[in-house]
Amino acid sequence: MPGPFGIISRLRRHWPIAALLLLAGALRAVVQYAYRPALIFPDSLRYLQFAQRFADGHWSPDTIRQSGYSILIIPAAAGHVLALIPLAQHVLGLAEGAMIYAVLVHRGSRRWLAALAAIPVLFDPLQLDLEQYVLSDVCAAFFLVTALVMLVWRGNRAGWAAMSASGLLLGAAAVTRVADLVLIVPAALYLAVTIRPWRRLAAAAGILAAGILLPVAGYAGWFASSHGQWGLTSYNGTFLYGRVVQFADCTGLRLPSYERPLCPAQPPAQRNYDFYMWSAKSPQWQFAPPPGMTRQAVVLDFSRRVLAHQPLSYLAAVGTDMAYGFSPVRGNGPEHYPAAYLKFQTGFPPYAEVQMALRTYGHTGPAVQPALAAFLSGYGRWFYVPGPLLAAALLAGLAGLAGTRRSRRRGLCPAALLFTAAAVAAVVSAAALAPFDWRYQLPQLTLIPVAAAFGVMTLTGWAPPDRERAGQPVDSAITGDRPPVAPFSGSRHGRFSWYHRMVAASPSAKDVRGR
């Protein structure tokens, strides 16, 4: 354990991230005090309701959203100390910044570049605002980043423990926010690129899959025991309907008579996402499903028919939403979903659920510090990462896939591939499953900067300067590769290799070789 002088020496060497973490921590303290005890969105009330139900011993998962987050916030809901939730999430945000810096420096990045990659998650107002909300996004993003960091920490030599832990974290992210289930694909792709021979790859993939399946299958089994069907939610039809209703055109679409009422009547430009999703007057809640069929099954079938009938319209909607995620301004998005709740305001968002949630589960009301809220409102207007800059960073990650021979040998290209593919997968899944909401763009702030940093490292062929000066081989220092093994090591005689080295160095052995 390093003494006080060792700690001071490390702080001096890593002063950029130490200074950034100190400033980011102070900014989070301002956010925590400005909006007490926590910011509330309509979804927050349901998370708190189920957390309280679990605390009371009623263990039945939510049918609308995954209950992984509700399990995590049980102590705060049961103890009526809601301020613990944003406090914990602010700590997770700081931990993400430190983790990004650590993995990049460990893999050979210059310290200034690693610190630069940590700035978005440490200071972007979208991250800060969501950390203050009782919402699952920050926890899910933390699980994802930690899982990917564990995979790349040792380069091409990730151990079985790291793979299993990474799988568990990916599974935890999926039962916290179902859209994150798609991040399994980049993780599997990373293993396919880095691990040889095929038998070892199969074993590694099995370990990763087992880690993912443990929380996912366990949750699905819990859901089945409570609701009679396997899955993570029973509202798949509702969510897909909300995605397709924006462009659905029933002209020429062959539908069963009982699905006709689901066709939206308004022109596309006048369709309101919230109305079609949640209003009691929405077509999906007004129609009567035929005997023997559930409402969700009918709505899901209608949505699939629309997708098959209008695949180009769906692709256009997904592409438009993805492109808007890199917009220079943070407006309401192509579907005009209000973005005001993700911007610091001078007061609490005007939702009816705010008073109910805080009084029921916090035994308090909303409290705002006006001067701090005004400061944060101005901060959020100007100090955010512009979308074009994130787009350029993503292109840098893509360019890094070419890399140099040296960077490929050190495992930097696969790391760039993992974070770039993960960023693309996160953006695509958000646009494919729901209309645009800045809340779903949160992974951009962590995955894209890391992808860009690895891309720069692969193109420049950087090596860790401290290890080079120490005379340690760069490849083994970074990737964990061991130096060449003695001829007898690895065989059944490996434990006697010291004896052969001693004999080879003895004078009698030299005499024998001389003869």
Mean pLDDT: which of 111-125, 240-254, 388-402 is highest?
111-125
User: What is the pLDDT of the chain when averaged over all its residues?
Assistant: 86
12 CB burial (10 A radius; 0-12, 13-18, 19+):
exposed
Amino acid 341 reads Y
Percent of residues, the chain, with pLDDT higher than 70:
86
* Preceding omega of 311 cis (within 30 degrees of 0): no
- The answer on pLDDT for 515 being more than 90 is no
Q: What's the number of CA atoms in the CB half-sphere (13 Å) around residue 511?
A: 3
Query: What does the pLDDT average to over 24-43?
Result: 97
Q: What is the DSSP string of 175-190?
A: TT-GGGGGGHHHHHHH
Q: What's the number of CA atoms in the CB half-sphere (13 Å) around residue 266?
A: 12
Query: What does the pLDDT average to over 54-63?
Result: 94
Q: Output 305 or 512, whichever has higher pLDDT.
A: 305
Per-residue model confidence (pLDDT) at position 1 = 54
Per-residue model confidence (pLDDT) at position 179 = 87
- The answer on pLDDT for 158 being more than 90 is no
Q: What's the CA gap between 349 and 333, in Å, rounded?
A: 19
Query: What does the pLDDT average to over 445-453?
Result: 96
Per-residue model confidence (pLDDT) at position 487 = 33
Per-residue model confidence (pLDDT) at position 408 = 64
Per-residue model confidence (pLDDT) at position 279 = 87
198-227 vs 184-194: helix crossing angle, rounded to 10: 160
| Per-residue pLDDT tens digits for 402-446 | 866 666 667 788 999 999 999 999 999 989 988 899 999 999 999
Q: What's the number of CA atoms in the CB half-sphere (13 Å) around residue 314?
A: 19
Per-residue model confidence (pLDDT) at position 490 = 37
Percent of residues, the chain, with pLDDT higher than 90:
67
Task: Name which of 118, 125, 136 is nearest 178 in CA terms.
Answer: 136
| Per-residue pLDDT tens digits for 290-299 | 998 999 999 9
Query: How many angstroms separate the Cα of 69 from the Cα of each of 62, 282, 410, 488, 499?
Result: 11, 28, 37, 52, 58
Per-residue model confidence (pLDDT) at position 197 = 86
Report residue 28's pLDDT band, with 50, 70 and 90 as the boundaries.
very high
Report residue 361's pLDDT band, with 50, 70 and 90 as the boundaries.
very high
Query: What does the pLDDT average to over 289-317?
Result: 93
**Alpha helix (H) ranges present in 383-496?**
387-399, 405-409, 412-433, 444-460, 465-469, 474-479
Per-residue model confidence (pLDDT) at position 273 = 83
| Per-residue pLDDT tens digits for 473-512 | 333 333 333 333 333 333 333 433 433 444 444 444 444 3
Residues facing residue 39 across a β-bridge: 133
Are 241 and 276 spatial neighbours (Cβ–Cβ below 8 Å)? yes
CA dihedral 348, 350, 354, 359 (to 10 degrees): 80
Per-residue model confidence (pLDDT) at position 508 = 45
| Per-residue pLDDT tens digits for 243-293 | 999 999 998 899 999 999 999 988 888 888 888 988 889 999 988 899 989
Mean pLDDT: which of 122-136, 341-355, 460-474 is highest?
122-136
